[in-house]
Each structure stands twice: as structure tokens, then as C-alpha cells.
A and B are shown apart, each in its own frame.
Chain A
Amino acid sequence: MDHSVTFTGENINATVTVPTNTLLADAALQAGIDIGQPCGGQGRCGRCAVQVTEGEVRRRSTLRLSPSDVEAGYALACQTVVESDAHIYVPPQEKIERRLTTDRVVAEVTVPADYDYDSVQTVKRLSLQLAPPSMDDQTDDWARLQTAFRLQHGMERVRCSVGLLRKMSDVLRAGDWQTTAIVETNRLSDNPTSRLIDLLPGRGDDYAPIWGVAIDIGTTTVSLWLVDLVTGKVRAQAAEYNGQIARGEDVISRIIYASKNGGGDEMRQRVLDTINNLLETACKRVKLDEGRVTPDQIVKATIAGNSTMTHLLLGIPAASIRLSPFVTAVNHPPLVTGREIGLNVHPEAVVDCLPGVASYVGADITAGALSSGLDDAEDVTLFIDIGTNGETVLGNRDWMVTCACSAGPAFEGAGVMNGMRATQGAIEEIWINTDTLEPTWRVIGGGKPKGICGSGLISLLSEAFITGVVDKGGNVKLEAPSPRVRKGAHGGEYVVAWGQETESGEDIVLTRVDIDNLLRAKAAIYAGFTVLADQVGVPLEGVSKLLVGGSFGKYINVEKAVQIGLLPDLEWSRFEFLGNTSVKGAYLALLEPRARERITAIAKRMTYIELSADNSFYEAFTSALFLPHTDLHKFPSVVEALRK
């Protein structure tokens, strides 16, 4: 029996007649519509989802679709046959990806619902009208200003630097005794004090932005958000590799370098250069109606970094972090000014380095625990930060334990031959056709690929494994029948993109060395959270939510991360991807004192578990140094995928 099938969609409108039980994908092809099938039509990737708006079909597999999507008519074109006349809607690709049960995309940043600049922001812009001096009133300018603060804003004892005193008199006169002050207030303390950050002539615009910045100093990647403190909105983001990488990939080698002659100054300068460049970049990205933002207009900064990064930034010796009994110089650094630490923000800007827990669990994790909401979770939650130091937090609102392990920078695209950060030109997802071993990829921003970012590397390694390009040990099977599998300088490699397809004209490849680095990174992270969970006696199956953070992009495919054994084999619905949780935590602390206090509370509440205390971590690490794991019973869904 023949059926008439009509396809509609953006620039699509075609009808074909096909026999009953024809695959939708074949019917589409007959209609001249190319529905992409990156995995080779095996129902593995879900990219060929379409919506059946009328008619009867039979779905052989709905693995990638949620029950509500199936209810709404969604079906995989490569796994679905027609059984009657039908109408098929072909949705745009982005819309499909958002629906797939395996894909996790970071939510856009939103200003906290209850953010109110007037009532909570510690940095304020105040207008002051001073009485001009005369022969009858010879009060000095500073006392005159203090009086205005007291009478017009109820502020006692405002402090200021000598630098401001030097320019104060000119500013007051230039504005004809009308002035605008930027003030840091500390109303929460019993003995409120305020500090003058800047003084400007005339009356300021109440609605103009006041600039703040939230900074995450990662061992590998530094990210910052430029924020308008009045509205709370993030106006620009920027990220770059940490300039200290040139002096060591991990914190230990950085500490060693910094401990040698003058190394500490160099390390401090390197990270300052990185941040200062990012400040310039972020400022340039802000579009204003008039004028432009410059870094010296930034009057407040919150910084979340691991303990080593914070020490190196502040120029505090970090050597004791590395040596037994592994203590920091300071876990809760005091407030400082931009000038004191050499940040190219306003010299008087308040700079708040967030508190950490221990040598290897720093403010990036306390900030992450805040922004992920773990510290307020009712059920037991696992928060995994897929970064160079692979920190993990397990707990809920009543208790929190944490650990860290050295994972290396592979998932941030460093230490991998064609790795890159998750920016324009990075391949962020790859599918390999099982029969031909030909890849299909998606590039951030479209266009020719320049390299592969963390999420791309996860999906590449997983696909190479599932399609048999590499074995469970990560060895490239050179006998595989494809010109893309070849012998390179360091053993077998797989060509992801040929030179003529890439931005640089060079082949983009995955080498044996890359695979080893990725395996070590994923094994360290997996071992970290499994040992942590084991030590507190919480089985991973008992964790209700798994929150995944990491500065490797906006996207992660949970199934692929499970297939390489980076994440535990649990229902996909339990996972949430949060992106860079550290910078987000810093952002929340930048806006609200309550959030800032929560971070301090988190730092005090977290129990740190030292993984090097016994050899269970090493044992877990070597058993995880395999695809997906030496103990296959832990990964039933992967066994199933391999069987297919």
C-alpha cells in the first residue's frame, strides 16, 4: 500500500508517495530533503528528529526523545516508518538539539530576581550638594564633605585615601560644590564605616551604570563578567587561557616556579596581564549610547580562584600549599584595593578575593557550591567541576564534603594537539558514522573549524570508542578501514578534518597523546567523586542530582560523557550542566552581600577529604584509566551501546 507523505518546514514543502513501512529518512530523501544523519542512521544521535503532525507512524527507537516529545509527535526519521498518509514537520536543527534527552545546555545568565541595587549593593553612587565656603564659614573641604555625607546620606566617618584628598578640592570647585561620590559602604557591621572610592564633579546620572567585575581565575582558563551594578546585568563576558600556563600546566609546577628566585613576581605579573587584557576586551564589548567603558571605571571586583591562584595573584608565598601538612597562608583574604594588587581597575576599587576551604579546595569551589545551589539543596547532590583540578562537592543543606584531584587541562582544550577553548571556530560536537568512520561535526559560530574544545573532545573520544576507531585502552586501531585512521608521529591518530576543510589548512587530528591526556583527566575526575562518595558511604545511585560545572563551553552531551567514563552511568535526567559555576558564584557575591556571606558560610561548613591519605584514590584512578572503566558492570548503558 502506498502513502502520501508531506514534509514542511523552513523552506521545505514537498510531498512524495512511498510504500508502507518506508523510513521517514528515505521518504525525505526521495522528496529531495536532506535530513542530516550524523551517526549514519542508527538512532544513536537523535539529530534527525522530526514532528509527525498528522498520520500514523511506527517508531523503532525513541532513545533520544522524552515521553512528552513522543506525545507531541516527535520521531527519529532514521528509526520511524510510515503506516498511513502523513504530514511531517522538519524543525530547524537548533530546535532539535534543545529537545534531546542527552544534551545539556547552560542557561543564560539572569539577574537574581530580588536584586535591588538601592538596598543591597555595597558600592553606591551618591550626589552631594555642599555649601560653598566663605569668610563666614572657613571649614576645610574634607570636613565640609563629611558634613554633607552625614546630613544628606546619614553616613558617619567616611574614610578616604590621600590620593583622593589630593584631587578633592579641585573636583569640588569644578562642580561648583555639587559632587558625586562613589562609596563603599559596610552597613552590615555593628559599626558601619564607609570608604570613598571616587569623587566626580557635578551631579551624576542616577541610571548610568556603575561597573563591577566578577573574575574566575582558573589554573587553565581565566573568565570574567563585566557587570552593571545598578541593574545587575552582565554586560560583557571574556575568557582567555591563564598566562601562567607558560610556566607549568598544574598548580604544583606553578608553586615550584613561584618559589624560586623572582618566580613569584613573574607569576603574579602573568596572571595580572591576563586579567588586565580581559578587562580591556570586556570593556570594548560593551555597547553604550555615548562614550565607552574603560577598566578604570570598574569600582568593585570579586575574584574566585583556587587557593594557589589566589595566593599567586596576591603575591603571597604559596610554597606551603605543596608541602606536608599542606596549609595555605590564608583561606579568607581581607578586602584590598585595585591599586594594592596591580589590577587595572579603578585604583581605589574594592577587590574581594572570595574565601576557600583548604589548599586544594579554593574559592572557585565555594563559589561553585553557591551558584549551583548545592549548599541549599534538600536532597543529596553531587557537584563535579570538570576543570584542571577536578574538584567535587557532595552534600546538601545539612552537610558538605569536598575533595580535589589533579585532572590536567585536557577538557579545557589545553595539552591536546588541536584543542582550543570553547570559542568561535571550535568543534563542539562530533558524530562518527559506524560504517564509513566519516565524522560529522558542529562548529561554534559555524564556519571552518580551528580546533576542538572540551565538549567536542568528549564527544570525539566517545564516538571513536563506540565506533571502534579506538579500543578500550585508547589505542587507535590502525587496521580500521578508513584513510582517517593513520600512523602519526606519536602512534595512531584519527583525522577529524582534512586540511582543505579547516581554517588553518592543517589537518585537525586526535592523537594517541591526546587520548592519553583525556583518559588521565577523566580517570582522575571519576576517581575523585567515586572515592569521595565511598568515604562518606553514599552510593552514587543515591545521589538525586548531579551538577556538572566546567569552563569548557555552553554545552555537554551527557551520554557521551558517560560513554567515556567521565560521569557515572545514571539516568540522563539526573544531570544538569551549569557551565562556569565559579564565575557565576563570584557574580552573585558581587551583587549581594547575602550571597557573599553564604560563600563564607560554605567555606566554613565544607569538610575537606584528602585523597592522598590512603591508596584508594590511586586504585580508583587506574581502574578508571580505561574506556569506559575496567569494571564494566559500573557502565551497563555503555555495554549495551557497544553490543549494538
Chain B
Amino acid sequence: MPIEIPKDKWPGSVRAITIGATSADGGTRAKSITVGGQTALPYMHFEAPMPNKPVVAVEIKSRKPEDWSTLLMNAWGDAMTSPAAWAKKAEEVGADLIVLALTLADSPSEAVAAVKSVLAASGLPLIVWGPGQAEKDNELLVAVSEATKGERIVLGICEDKNYRTIVATAMANGHLVQARTPMDVNLSKQLNILISDMGMPKERILMDPTTGALGYGIEYGYSVMERLRLASLQGDAMTQFPMLVTPGLEAWKTKEAKVGEGVPEAWGDWNARSINWEILTAMALVESGADIVVLRHPESVKRVKDAIGELVMA
């Protein structure tokens, strides 16, 4: 007897958003990346095809970080000494996008130089983060934004207490913004409203609902993302943006990834464990609807991409 699988038909959809501009669009990227566009819940291929698959971004820094795990240091090696070399290597290991995180030590001209060197070294679309302190973020991102007009870079990170300057410069220079809120559907929606109210076109906003690592609150992040996606499919215009999350940053903060000595033997090999932690965190988020996952370890990039490949084939 044939069984008919019931299908949900949703009134809303996620906006398709394109990051990076090729020469045809007034930029210098070898290719652009489009995310979003879903009309059904993730991987429900029998309900609707998934127009754009989730992508992997690799986080690099404008200066060699001093607080990163030695495992990451070993994996990237000398590439970490310059953002250009790092970006190039990230592209080699399979990154779809580069995230360049600026630091507090950068001056505006140094920040611009770092961004330009990355743009020259890699043809991938770019996301640029300020160092995470409101005034410094604004200072650096305005300089970067103006120096890279038309590249369709994603500028981050906008938060509810500091978004106006970043949004204004992104609007003026044809870039996108990343809107981060602390794991709450309403707060996420509110920041999207605030950014839209400034006149930012809705095709240039990415949501970052914040997440936690596996074992460190991921279920909370997961369910917020799931609810945001449900709201967008139900037609809530202010949640219909692709989601970017940072499993790499979260996973490499955990004790399991950071500590190699003095832990129970049952925890197994440190390197394998750390990478698995990042991958499992990332894949849970991909399944809850993430469109961009930002990773740190080259091995994770490869394996998460493989897993995404299998998911979209299924």
C-alpha cells in the first residue's frame, strides 16, 4: 500500500543573501556566495529543495593570536604570521568564506591594510569583525568599509547597544552586516527591526543568534535557531534572514578542547577530541538551520563540508 508523506507548506521563506561582489558587480571577488532562500525546514528535501547549501567560513586574525590552542597553532603553522598567508591557506583547505577578526592593537590604517591584503591573497568573499569593543569596532570598521566600497563584505558585529555606526557605513559603502543577539528570539527580531528601521535593505542582513559549544548550552542555541527558522517560514518578515553562527569560537573555549594534560584517560586523544568537539558543535547547528558556520581548525573545515555534502544529497 502506498504511503503518502504529509508535507508542510509554509507561507514564508528565508531571504537569499549574496556575500561578496565579483568584477561584474563592481567588486574584486573571484566568486560570490549566496545563502538562505529556504522555503521549508532544513533538509526536508521532500517538501522543498534547498536552494543554497550551508557554507563554511574560516576565522583568521589580523595578528597572530596569543590565546589560541597550540593545536590550532600547529595546524596553521607559519600561515598565521600574516593574514594574507592565513587566508590563502584557509582557501586551500576548503573555506567558502573568510572571516577576518581585527584586534584591539590594530590602528585604522593597519586594519585597512590587513583587509586589503586578504582581499588580494584570496578571491573568497569576506566577513570582517571588529575586535569587540564598541568604540574600537566603529573606528576600524568605518575605515575598512570606506576602503573596500562595493565589495559586499559582511561587517560585524552589530549588537543592540552598538549598531548604528556600523549599519550606516555598511549602507553607504554597499556592504552587509552581521546582527548578533544573545540567544533569544525576540532580541534577535528586535535588532533586525532596528537595523531595517535605519533603511538597511533586508537583502544585506545576516542574523547571528549566538550559540554555545556542545555541552555548554548548545541546546539553548539550537532551539532558538529552530524557533527563528519556524518564525521566518510562518511569515515573520523580521526573522527571514540567513543565520551565521560561530561553533569554532565556542568549541575552542571548552575545557575538553583547551586542556591536553591532567584529564581522564577516557577522554582519549586530545587532538582528535578537540576537532570532534568543533565538528559536532558545528553539525548540530547546521541541522538546526545554520547557513554559515565559522570554524577554526582546517580538519574541521574538511569534515564539516563533507557532512554538509551528505546532508544536501540525502
Interface residues in chain A, defined as those with a beta carbon under 8 Å from any beta carbon in chain B: 471-473, 475, 477-479, 491, 619, 622-623, 625-626, 630
Contacts and interface: CB of A to CB of B under 8 A. Distances in A.
Contact of B193 (A478, A625, A630): A630
Contacts of A471: 164, 194, 197
A472 B191 CA distance: 9
A626 B189 CA distance: 10
A472 B187 contact: no
Interface in B30-57: none
Nearest to A622: B186
A619 B186 contact: yes
A630 B193 CA distance: 8
Given A471-B164, A473-B190, A625-B187, 5 more contacts: A472-B190, A472-B197, A475-B164, A623-B186, A630-B189
A518 B303 CA distance: 49
Contacts of A625: 186-187, 190
Contacts of B194: 471-473, 475
Contacts of B168: 479
B160 interface: yes
Interface-central residue, B160, B161, B189, B190, by most chain A CB under 10 Å: B190
B184 interface: yes
Chain A residues touching B, majority SS: loop
Interface of B: 160-161, 164, 168, 184-187, 189-191, 193-194, 197
A630 B164 contact: no
A79 to B, nearest CB: 28
Q: Which 7 A-B pairs have the closest CB atoms?
A: A622-B186, A623-B186, A626-B190, A630-B186, A473-B194, A473-B160, A630-B189
Given A479-B164, A491-B161, A473 B191 contact: yes
Given A472-B197, A479-B164, A622 B184 contact: yes
Contacts of B197: 471-472
29 contacts: A471-B164, A471-B194, A471-B197, A472-B190, A472-B193, A472-B194, A473-B160, A473-B190, A475-B161, A475-B164, A475-B194, A477-B164, A478-B164, A479-B164, A479-B168, A491-B161, A619-B186, A622-B184, A622-B185, A622-B186, A622-B187, A625-B186, A625-B187, A625-B190, A626-B193, A630-B186, A630-B189, A630-B190, A630-B193
Contacts of A479: 164, 168
Contacts of A472: 190, 193-194, 197
A478 B134 CA distance: 14
A626 B181 CA distance: 14
A338 B187 CA distance: 51
B288 to A, nearest CB: 19
B23 to A, nearest CB: 34
A472 to B, nearest CB: 6
Nearest to B193: A472
B289 to A, nearest CB: 20
A491 B159 CA distance: 14
Contacts of A630: 186, 189-190, 193
Interface-central residue, B164, B184, B186, B197, by most chain A CB under 10 Å: B186
A621 to B, nearest CB: 9
B167 to A, nearest CB: 11
A472 B186 CA distance: 13
B6 to A, nearest CB: 28
Contacts of B189: 630
Contacts of A622: 184-187
A623 B194 CA distance: 14
A477 B167 CA distance: 13
Contacts of B164: 471, 475, 477-479
Contacts of B184: 622
A46 B168 CA distance: 36
A478 B184 CA distance: 27
Contacts of A619: 186
A204 to B, nearest CB: 65
Nearest to A468: B197
Contacts of B186: 619, 622-623, 625-626, 630
Contacts of A626: 186, 190, 193
A483 B35 CA distance: 43
A619 B224 CA distance: 12
A473 to B, nearest CB: 5
Interface-central residue, A473, A491, A619, A625, by most chain B CB under 10 Å: A473
Contact of A475 (B160, B185, B187, B193): B160
A472 B185 CA distance: 16
Contacts of B193: 472, 626, 630
A519 to B, nearest CB: 11
Contacts of B161: 475, 491
Nearest to B198: A471
B133 to A, nearest CB: 14
Contacts of A477: 164
Contacts of A473: 160, 190-191, 194
Nearest to B162: A475
A630 B186 CA distance: 7
